[in-house]
């Protein structure tokens, strides 16, 4: 019942299993009438080759794995979507593993590695040691939004220069002098680089160094809390006139805090985000942010893995994809009519 095998097909077509295999994958010439008979048998028996048998013989899984911290939020969805598209188009399956801070993550990653031909690892999900082990064991690995470990391949989006450019926009164009940074430079390389660029912008204008970052996880709830903290100005200092948020979700949270504290976003309070998630343009006012090529990150990673799986060696590939400031109304710029927003 469960499992017509190549032998059943061979028997029915009156040929050897080798011939069935040849017909099935077109790997060698087969006489027309033989082919027809085999094809008919395959059709009649609804034969689908067993992937385990095939994989064992071919010594490959035809599958790739992806490790990410958590599926929530648009960023990971997009990256994974890009990865999945590229992998599927190349006839590979995609196995996912979410670590969400679990302790057993390392074991699970090793397990995943034994199920696939190549691995994409996002951010700080996996201890360096595990990555090093797998890499040294010869397993194709690409790191995303994370510095390379040894000579692994890695891809990330540009952060520092764009963060500086965005901060300078607030300083030069809109005249802000007290800008708070909401995020956590320590929690991810991306965050650290954005903070660096933010600080560099202040330096380059000879401004007093900005206050230390207001720590916030990259989620709405934490952004809301951080914004309240920043805007309430418990100490003597005046509250900031602008909030530079580590990502769009933090920015989303700050909108609510701003409303509650009677600050008008885009007028007496500037807010910027990062990622350009789909919601950003639909907020009122629309959110000024930075567009990251999220799908492209996933696509690049998948292609790099293919190159390793098929092509083999070569020097490590490191790629930095460009990012782009998207000015909308939340920083004080004129409102962009919805019609002029490019499709996405």
Partner DNA sequence: TTGTAAGCGTTATCAA
Partner DNA sequence: TTGATAACGCTTACAA
175 near a second copy (CB under 8 A): no
Q: Where are the beta strands (DSSP E) in the chain?
A: 63-68, 93-98, 118-122, 141-144, 153-157, 179-183, 214-215, 242-245, 270-272, 289-291, 318-321, 324-326
Distances (CA, A) of 149 to 129, 133, 141, 195, 276: 9, 10, 10, 22, 29
Which residue, 15 or 230, has its beta carbon nearer to DNA? 15
Q: Which stretch binds DNA (CB under 7 A): 23-31, 147-155, 217-225, 297-305?
A: 23-31
Q: Does 273 bind a second copy (CB under 8 A)?
A: no
Q: Which residues contact 261 (CB under 8 A, 6 or more apart)?
A: 228, 231, 232
Closer of 60 and 215 to DNA (Cβ) = 60
Sketch the per residue contact string, 210 through 229, with a second copy: x for CB under 8 A, - otherwise. Answer: ---------xxx--x-----
Using DSSP, how many helices (H) and how many strands (E) does the chain show? 12, 12
Nearest one of 61, 51, 52, 68 to 116, comparing CA atoms: 61
* Those residues with Cβ within 8 angstroms of residue 27's Cβ, 6 or more apart along the chain or in another chain: 21
For the segment 99-158, give every residue that binds a second copy (CB under 8 A): 108, 110-115, 133, 137-138
**Interface with a second copy (CB under 8 A), residue from 56, 233, 261, 320:** 56
30-40 burial, b at 16+ Cβ within 10 Å, e below that, comes to: beeebbebbbe
| 67 counts as binding a second copy under rule CB under 8 A | no
Q: Which of residues 24-63 bind DNA (CB under 7 A)?
A: 24-25, 27-31, 33-35, 47-50, 52-54, 56-59
CA-CA distance, 158 to 79, in Å (whole number)? 15
- The smaller minimum CB distance to a second copy, of residues 110 and 178, is found at 110
317 binds a second copy (CB under 8 A): no
Nearest residue (CB) to a second copy, 52 versus 208: 52
Structure tokens at 225: 């809390």
Report the nearest approach of DNA to the CB of residue 45 (Å). 10
The residue among 292, 256, 307 whose CA lies nearest residue 76 is 292
Which of the choices DNA, a second copy, none does residue 162 contact, using the CB cut-off of 5 to 8 A by kind? Answer: none
Q: Work out whether 310 is an interface residue with DNA (CB under 7 A).
A: no
8-state DSSP, 61 = -
Chain residues binding a second copy by CB under 8 A are 1-3, 46, 48-53, 55-56, 59, 61, 63, 70-74, 76-78, 80-81, 84-85, 88, 91, 93-98, 108, 110-115, 133, 137-138, 219-221, 224, 252-253, 255-256, 259-260, 278-279, 281-284, 286, 338, 343
């Amino acid at each position: 019942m469960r499992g017509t095998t190549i032998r059943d097909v061979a028997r029915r077509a009156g040929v050897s299993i080798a011939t069935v295999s040849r017909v099935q994958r077109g790997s060698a010439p087969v006489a027309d009438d033989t082919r027809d008979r085999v094809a008919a048998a395959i059709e009649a028996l609804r034969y689908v080759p067993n992937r385990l048998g095939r994989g064992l013989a071919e010594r490959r899984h035809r599958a790739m794995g992806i490790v990410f911290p958590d599926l929530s939020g648009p960023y990971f969805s997009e990256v994974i979507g890009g990865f999945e598209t590229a992998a599927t188009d190349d006839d590979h399956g995609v196995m996912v593993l979410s670590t969400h801070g679990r302790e057993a993550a390392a074991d699970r990653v090793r397990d995943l590695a034994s199920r696939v031909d190549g691995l994409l690892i996002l951010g700080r999900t996996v201890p360096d040691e595990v990555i090093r082990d797998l890499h040294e064991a010869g397993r194709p690995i690409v790191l995303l939004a994370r510095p390379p470990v040894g000579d692994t391949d890695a891809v990330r989006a540009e952060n520092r220069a764009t963060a500086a450019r965005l901060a300078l926009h607030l300083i030069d164009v809109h005249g802000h002098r007290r800008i708070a940074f909401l995020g956590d430079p320590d929690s991810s390389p991306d965050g650290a680089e954005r903070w660096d660029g933010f600080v560099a912008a202040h330096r380059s204008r000879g401004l007093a160094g900005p206050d230390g970052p207001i720590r916030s996880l990259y989620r709405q709830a934490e952004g809301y809390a951080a914004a309240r903290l920043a805007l309430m100005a418990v100490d003597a200092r005046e509250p900031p006139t602008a909030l530079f948020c580590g990502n769009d979700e933090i920015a989303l949270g700050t909108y609510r805090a701003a409303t509650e504290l009677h600050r008008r976003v885009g007028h007496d309070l500037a807010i910027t985000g990062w990622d350009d998630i789909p919601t950003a343009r639909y907020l009122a006012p629309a959110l000024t942010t930075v567009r990251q090529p999220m799908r492209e990150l996933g696509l690049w990673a998948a292609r790099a893995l293919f190159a390793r799986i098929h092509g083999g060696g070569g020097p490590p590939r490191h790629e930095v994809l460009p990012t782009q400031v998207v000015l909308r109304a939340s920083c004080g710029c004129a409102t962009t009519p919805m019609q002029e927003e490019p499709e996405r």
